[in-house]
Amino acid sequence: MVGVAAVVVLTAVGEGARRYVTQEFTSLGTNLLIVVPGRNETTGSFPGAGGVPNDLTLDDVRAVERDVREARLVVPIAMGNDTVANGERRRQVAVIGTTSDFQQVRHLEVTAGSFLPPGDLERGAAIAVLGAEVARELFPAESPIGRVVRIGDWRVRVIGQLAPKGRQLAVDIDNLVLIPVATGMRIFDLTSLFRVLIEVRVHSNLESAEERVLALLADRHGEDDVTVITQDSVVGSLNQILTALTLAVAGIGAISLAVAGLGVMNLMLVSVSERTAEVGLLKAVGATGRQVQRLFLTEAVLLSLGGALAGLGLGWGLVRAFVALYPAFPASPPAWAVVSVLVLAVAVGALFGVLPARRATGLDPVEALAGR
């Protein structure tokens, strides 16, 4: 029973993790290319590890916009961290310098005011859009629209506020401040962009777009010094890892099932020896060996089926509790796990029931009945 519950819960969580990640990524659109400065990195988590040979600049962004026909949107991202303050209310947040198209690529909604306006990349207006959490912290009682906040030593005017969105790919959207990319590079004194996001028009263009971007930037920089990550490859490999994880976890559950099977066997053996007299009696009143064996096998199977169903119920309850605690996490046991765990539990019960049943059949009725 515990084994079944374990399998259900663990596979549910594993499967949930897989779905969560896949969903997160695909919510960003699978038509996305991410350009990262620096070469030879696969994860994108350490840009510049090993030295960035050339900056990724706004000129590069413009070149991509102009020359890569497959690209629908090209969004530069400059990244920094600083204190954002409204008078005495302050908060350390991630500040992203970007353009109006960021809204589309990241599927953001604005609850008040407006998003960053489209316009010249180089024009660094002193304006900002606040994430939901930042807005609430800095302006608990009033609307932040039109107010001025400080980012470090710089003063910017709030023009918009984002709808609550939660975390998206390890980035807490609610705790972001968005400013125009040129402003961002000036505030944080950056020469290179952190990322360039490219959304292609159709999914089938992804590869050719990737090639064209690489060629273009290699040409402009004089060497191959950027990495392009496709959403697909990231999702694919994560998916693989998490599937493997789920399977491993299911394997652990299966082992506990085998242990449970031994438990069933033990129980049945005890049951057989407790009921030797009964077995003897059954034989005396004309039961064949096969009938006795079937009786005990049925009992073993019922026992393990009962355990399995109870385990399933327990597991389901735990998963429900888990989901209630973490609603964003789509944990639910995959159907294959539920079905196979039931089949496995019953099979284990039957398998481990055979030995006790054999023993019952083999009991000498003479001795079985001699228990006076």
Residue numbers at the binding site for another protein (CB under 8 A): 277-278, 280-291, 364-366, 369-372
- DSSP track, 287-327: --HHHHHHHHHHHHHHHHHHHHHHHHHHHHHHHHHHHHH-T
354: exposed, middle or buried (Cβ count in 10 Å: 0-12, 13-18, 19+): middle
* Residue 275 CB, nearest approach to another protein (Å): 9
Name, in order, each residue with C-beta under 8 angstroms of 121's C-beta and a sequence gap of 6 or more.
58, 61, 62, 76, 99, 181, 182
Task: Give the dihedral sign, CA 202/206/212/218.
Answer: positive
- In the complex, the smallest distance separating the C-beta of residue 282 from another protein, rounded to whole angstroms, is 7
Place of tokens 């994860």: 43
CB of 346 to another protein, least distance (A): 24
**Shortest CB 25 distance to another protein, Å:** 59
User: Which CB sits closer to another protein, 165 or 283?
Assistant: 283
C-beta closer to another protein: residue 130 or 300: 300
339, 360, 358, 354: which is closest to 264 by C-alpha? Answer: 354
Least distance in angstroms from the C-beta of 270 to another protein? 16
Coil, helix or strand for 158?
strand
Nearer to another protein, 72 or 275 (CB): 275
Nearer Cβ to another protein (211/367): 367
- Tell whether the torsion through CA atoms of 64, 68, 69 and 70 is positive or negative: negative
* 282 vs 341, beta carbon nearer another protein: 282
**Which residues pair with residue 127 across a beta bridge?**
157
- Is the separation of the CB atoms in 94 and 81 below 8 Å? yes
Q: How far is the CB of 264 from another protein (least distance, A)?
A: 20
- Tell me the C-alpha distance between 97 and 81, whole Å: 11
Q: Quick count: other Cβ atoms within 10 Å of Cβ 270? A: 11
CB of 295 to another protein, least distance (A): 10
For another protein, the closer CB: 51 or 372: 372
Q: Which is nearer to another protein, 235 or 303 (CB)?
A: 303
